[in-house]
Amino acid sequence: MKKNNIKLMQGNEACVEGAIAAGMKFYAGYPITPSTEIAEVSAQKLPRVGGKFIQMEDEIAGMATAIGGSLAGLKSMTATSGPGFSLKQENIGYAALAEIPVVIVNVQRSGPSTGLPTAPSQGDMMQAKWGTHGDHPVIALCPSSVKETFDLTVRCFNLAEKYRMPVFLMLDEVVGHMREKIEIPDASEIEIYDRLKPTPGDENYLPYKVEEGQIVPAMAAYGDGYRFHVTGLIHDESGFPSNSTEVAQTLMTRIMKKVEDNINDIVTYEESNTDDAEIILLSYGGTARSAKSAMKKAREMGLKVGMFRPITVWPFPEERVKELAKQAKSIIVAEMNYGQMVLEVERIAKGTTDIYHVGKINGEVISPDEIFSKIKEVL
Binding site for other proteins (CB under 8 A): 25-26, 28, 47-48, 50, 52, 54, 56-58, 60-61, 64-74, 76, 90-91, 94, 221-233, 240-241
Considering the complex, what minimum distance in angstroms separates the CB of residue 67 from other proteins?
6
From the CB of 248, what's the least distance to other proteins, in Å? 17
Find the shortest distance in angstroms from Cβ 99 to other proteins: 13
DSSP-assigned beta bridge partners for residue 235: 241
CB of 253 to other proteins, least distance (A): 22
Q: Are 348 and 323 in contact (CB under 8 A)?
A: no
Q: Taking Cα atoms as reference points, which of 291, 284, 287 lies closest to residue 270?
A: 284
Q: How much is the CA Rg of the chain, to the nearest whole Å?
A: 21
How many Cα atoms within 13 Å fall on the side-chain side of residue 71? 18
The residue among 34 and 68 lying less far from other proteins, judged by its C-beta, is 68
Residue closer to other proteins by CB (options 73, 115) is 73
User: Smaller CB distance to other proteins: residue 25 or 374?
Assistant: 25
Question: Which residue, 38 or 230, has its beta carbon nearer to other proteins?
Answer: 230
CB of 74 to other proteins, least distance (A): 4
DSSP 3-state of 280: strand
Give which of 162, 156, 155 is closest to 214, Cα–Cα: 162
Residues 6 or more apart whose CB falls under 8 angstroms from that of 249 comprise: none
Q: Residue 182: helix, strand or coil by DSSP?
A: strand
CB atoms inside a 10 Å sphere around CB 198: 20
Kindly state the smallest distance separating residue 84's Cβ from other proteins, in Å. 14
Q: Which amino acid is at 144?
A: S
Cβ proximity to other proteins: between 91 and 290 the closer is: 91
Edge-first strand order for the sheet with 330-335 is 269-272, 305-310, 279-283, 330-335, 354-359
Residue 159 and residue 168 in contact, taking contact as beta carbons nearer than 8 Å: no
Residue 280's identity, in one-letter code, is I
Give 241: exposed, middle or buried? Use CB within 10 Å, 0-12, 13-18, 19+.
middle
CB 149 to other proteins: min, Å: 25
Taking the least distance from each CB to other proteins, the nearer of 115 and 239 is 239
CB-nearer residue toward other proteins: 77 or 171: 77
